[in-house]
Amino acid sequence: MSKTAFLFAGQGAQSVGMGKELAEAFPTAKDLFDQANTALGYDLTDICFNGPEEALTATENAQPGIYLVSWVAMKLLQNKVPDLKCDATAGLSLGEFTALAAAGAMTFEDGLNVVRLRGRYMQEACDETKGGMAAVINLDADATKAVCDEAGVRIANLNCPGQIVISGEADRIEKACELAKEKGAKRALPLIVAGAYHSPLMAGAQAKLETTLKDVEIKTPDVPVISNVTAKEHGDSNSIRARLVEQVTGSVRWEESIRLLLDQGFDRFIELGPGSALTGFMRRIDRSAKILNVADTASLEKTAAEIAG
């Protein structure tokens, strides 16, 4: 029997105009954008649709914006294919919150508010530190870890074979890039980011998020949700809170998370929300796996038709 997992993207997937076409075409989408504006108390919709890019890229807008567009994409697909069954969810960093909400562990509005605050806390941590990140291409995990240990930085994301992201103090990232190339990396590229996500430099955001999550009702998910930091299924509500706090400074083990689902017999994956980064990762993890996506009206119609067919 076919098993389907919903996948949700993280920060970096945002682009000006995201969700606009869907809101213009589907009243359900417009209603969700309006609901989000009311819940947040400001016009996130306008920032998603019209920018400017600087405003959308700001972490406290990008995170709820991606969460919202991903939720809209999911709801529209479920409306198009009412008998579509989701057997598990997973999300990259920020996307883990969308995955939990999609699995019934928290409400849509609670998730939206939490990711906005998470984004604000992370931006504050970025402003207080001088951090950076880099993508290391075609160097294995053990060699990359050795580079990180020598340079004094951390592995932030294990995305897929051949792509690992490192994080830490900006000058140490430069050193790490040099070391990685010396050890055989095809490329080691500093990323244009506000700071050192998924590293100890985010400790200030971690403490604030922990306090925020104490006031959020979290339930045991209706379907399995894969944790970024353990690459295993989330447990009960207290465990979920703990893992979400750890995630702020911990490594995102995305490749392992996807391999867990593949090992469990999942044979269809649907990326929901802006961008297609997770589709790209999947093709490098297992090219034979079925991966669909919903980001706009064309991809919505294509994915719905493929599922129905």
Question: Does the annotation count 198 as an active-site position?
Answer: yes
Structure tokens at 62: 């990008």
The three-class DSSP label of residue 264 is coil
Beta carbons within 10 angstroms of residue 41's beta carbon: 9
Structure tokens at 236: 């009960």
Q: Are strands 290-294 and 268-272 parallel, antiparallel or unpaired?
A: parallel
177 with 133: CB under 8 angstroms? no
Please give the Cα distance from 177 to 49 (Å, whole number): 36
| Residues 6+ positions from 154 with CB-CB distance below 8 Å | 148, 166, 167, 168, 198, 199, 200, 251
Angle between helices 203-213 and 237-247 (to 10 degrees): 160
Cis status, amide bond into 274, omega within 30 of 0: no
Class of residue 37 by CB neighbours under 10 A (exposed 0-12, middle 13-18, buried 19+): middle
Q: Where are the beta strands (DSSP E) in 152-264?
A: 154-160, 163-169, 187-190, 225-226
Q: Point out the catalytic residue in the list 93, 199, 227, 257.
A: 93
Q: Are strands 187-190 and 131-137 parallel, antiparallel or unpaired?
A: antiparallel
- Inter-CA distances, 225 with 73, 90, 174, 206, Å: 18, 6, 35, 21
- Inter-CA distances, 297 with 19, 72, 200, Å: 9, 11, 40
Q: Point out the catalytic residue in the list 70, 167, 198, 227.
A: 198
Question: Does the annotation count 15 as an active-site position?
Answer: no
Tell me which residues are annotated as active site: 93, 198
